[in-house]
Amino acid sequence: MLKDLRINNSLTGKKELFEPLHAPFVGMYVCGPTVYSNVHLGNARTFISFDVIYRYLMHLGYTVRYVRNITDVGHLTNDDDAGEDKIGKKAKLENIEPMEIVQRYTQDFHQVMEQFNALPPSIEPSATGHIVEQIEFIQELLNNGLAYEVSGSVYFDVKTYNEKNDYGKLSGRKIEELLSNTRDLDGQDEKRNSVDFALWKSAEGTDHIMRWNSPWGEGFPGWHLECTVMGTKYLGKQFDIHGGGMDLKFPHHECEVAQAVGAHGCEPAKYWLHTNMLTVNGQKMSKSLNNSFLPHELFNGDHELLDRAYSPMTVRFFMLQSHYASTLDFSNDALNAAQKGYRKMMNGLKTLRKIDSSNIEAGELNEKAIGQINSLCDNIYRAMNDDFNTALTIGHLFNLLKKINSVYTQQLPLASISEDVFARMKTTYEEIVIEVLGLKEESNVDVEGLLEIVIKEYAVAKSEKNYDKVDEIRNQLKEQGVVLKDTKAGIDWAYDE
Ligand code: AMP
Ligand code: ZN
């Protein structure tokens, strides 16, 4: 298997050869959703992108531990530690337990991921399940002189950290500019500098519902901390890949780097990967911008922006037609084109199943065609190895499909390309489409519609008194679990009981 995978590393800004720290093991951490509402299509894009990355790493033969967390506390409505907890706010609004909110939207997230055929991660830890570890981690930062406590809250001291390290290196922010930004915001007066961020927020004297005891009084952890703590716990102080959407680069991931380096003295992740945004009319799809729609709205065609419904696999294909690091703009035209492309790709799988490659007679080999098929297969891997370029991969798969179709129509006889070359073509097409791109055949065929066609045939046979045909249709339908009933009102069908 080709193992010259190159990844565009956000940490260095360069495309680098992928060399895992402990091959064949790969540790990958991806920031999961904040479960305070239904995931929208933009969120789904990020998770589908990482699903393909996970699948391809496994396809290359790596043993991957994929950790994707559930944020169920600490993500505030405002990035500067001054907002409300997103989950707590929703729970208050609906007058129910925060954990009811968490349960409802975690289930929704899982259902959506399954509809998109995304594999579940190896571990899916939650922030509230790791409060003890988060408190211990804060203690370490306090011991290292990189955090300070004020009135029951603990903040990370960015200025002190930056004396020996480089805060801003992941996101390209300049520390001088960050330090000079002294916005006077609610709650910020506790911080030495506005760039400092909360590790622990005091809940004393507030109506914050989710709260735990700590050495600093009752409170709750800051959002950035959970990922560092759970990443360390399940993947070690240093692991291979850390991912998330581009919008998490700052402050979330920058703070994660600072926390990990501050506590352990080493970079947490060797490669940082950031997916780009799904946009609507050029604007990021986001709940707060009111331009987001939910996967089920798409599957039902139930939204003013949609001309009609699109199936989960059509949407998955639409997403894979762009590289994860490029923006992707939503449009009905693009989805219609994706439906055509997806169906064409599925027809390729069907065609391959129909080609009988047993007993190929030895014949004269078409070296030119063999060379073309081999380079098409190489190109597919080359594209995936080029920073998981699914857009290019799909293009090459369609070129390979042309060859598959020529073999099927016998324009290119099987004997002329040999059994081995056919096997390579078949395996490459099937494995990349099914295992790596995660596309599966979905039956959109209307069973009742098909039965109506058969019933018409049956009625014609009856009126012609062609009883052999009548019996044949009856028997064949029975084998499929369907019985026909001749009633006064006409011919009807039912499930065979
Ligand atoms: P959140 O639940 O807000 O923490 O977001 C979950 C994930 O979805 C994060 O990795 C975000 O970066 C990502 N995300 C949010 N909006 C979009 C979008 N419009 N396109 C792609 N990814 C997004
Ligand atoms: Zn995170």
Which among 354, 82, 359, 129 has a CA at the least distance from the CA of 229?
A: 129
How high is the pLDDT of residue 191? 93
Centre of ligand 2 from the C-alpha of residue 227, in Å: 5
Taking CA atoms only, the protein residue closest to ligand 1 atom 5 is: 33
Return the exposure string of 308-329: e unless at least 16 CB atoms fall within 10 Å of the residue's CB, then b: eebbbbbbbbbbbbbbbbeebe
Through-space distance between the first and last CA atoms of the chain, rounded to whole angstroms = 51
Ligand showing the shortest atom-to-Cα distance for residue 75: 1
- Report yes or no: 183 and 200 within 8 Å, Cβ to Cβ: no
Which of 37, 39, 43, 86 should be mutated for ligand 1, with most atoms under 8 A from CB? 43
The burial of 98, by beta-carbon neighbours within 10 Å (0-12 exposed, 13-18 middle, 19 or more buried), is given as buried
Ligand showing the shortest atom-to-Cα distance for residue 48: 1
Ligand showing the shortest atom-to-Cα distance for residue 222: 2
Centre of ligand 2 from the C-alpha of residue 189, in Å: 26
How high is the pLDDT of residue 290? 87
- Report yes or no: 200 and 162 within 8 Å, Cβ to Cβ: no
**Which protein residues are within 6 Å of ligand 1, measured from CB?**
31, 33-34, 42-43, 45-46, 244-245, 247-248, 275, 277-278, 284-286
Counting from 1 in the atom list of ligand 1, the atom nearest the Cα of 245 is 12
Ligand showing the shortest atom-to-Cα distance for residue 260: 2
Bridge-based pairing of strands 239-245 and 25-30 is: parallel
Taking CA atoms only, the protein residue closest to ligand 1 atom 9 is: 245
Taking CA atoms only, the protein residue closest to ligand 1 atom 1 is: 33
Bridge-based pairing of strands 239-245 and 269-275 is: parallel
Centre of ligand 1 from the C-alpha of residue 23, in Å: 30
Taking CA atoms only, the protein residue closest to ligand 1 atom 14 is: 43
Centre of ligand 2 from the C-alpha of residue 66, in Å: 14
Which among 246, 190, 265 has a CA at the least distance from the CA of 222?
A: 190
Centre of ligand 2 from the C-alpha of residue 121, in Å: 15
Residue whose entry in the numeric block shows the structure tokens 């995304």: 118
Ligand showing the shortest atom-to-Cα distance for residue 31: 2
DSSP strands (E only) in 246-319:
269-275, 278-280, 283-284
**Identity of residue 404:** I
Q: What is the DSSP string of 413-460?
A: -HHHHHHHHHHHHHHHHHIIIIIIS---------HHHHHHHHHHHHHH
- Report yes or no: 433 and 348 within 8 Å, Cβ to Cβ: yes
**Residue 52, both tokens:** 């393909």
Centre of ligand 1 from the C-alpha of residue 45, in Å: 8
pLDDT in tens, the chain (497 residues): 447 999 999 999 999 999 999 999 999 999 999 999 999 999 999 999 999 999 999 999 999 999 999 999 988 888 778 788 899 999 999 999 999 999 999 999 999 999 999 999 999 999 999 999 999 999 999 999 999 999 999 999 999 999 999 999 999 999 988 888 765 554 557 999 999 999 999 999 988 889 999 999 999 999 999 999 999 999 999 999 999 999 999 999 999 999 999 999 999 999 999 999 999 999 999 988 889 999 999 999 999 889 999 999 999 999 999 999 999 999 999 999 999 999 999 999 999 999 988 877 778 999 999 999 999 999 999 999 999 999 999 999 999 999 999 999 999 999 999 999 999 999 999 999 999 999 999 987 788 889 999 999 999 999 999 999 999 999 999 999 999 988 888 899 999 98
DSSP state, residue 370:
H
Which of 30, 247, 330 should be mutated for ligand 1, with most atoms under 8 A from CB? 247
Centre of ligand 2 from the C-alpha of residue 72, in Å: 12
**Identity of residue 454:** V
Centre of ligand 1 from the C-alpha of residue 150, in Å: 32
Centre of ligand 1 from the C-alpha of residue 323, in Å: 16
Taking CA atoms only, the protein residue closest to ligand 1 atom 6 is: 33
**Residue 171, both tokens:** 């996101």
Counting from 1 in the atom list of ligand 1, the atom nearest the Cα of 35 is 2
Instruction: Please tell me the number of Cα atoms within 13 Å of 132 on its side-chain side.
Output: 2
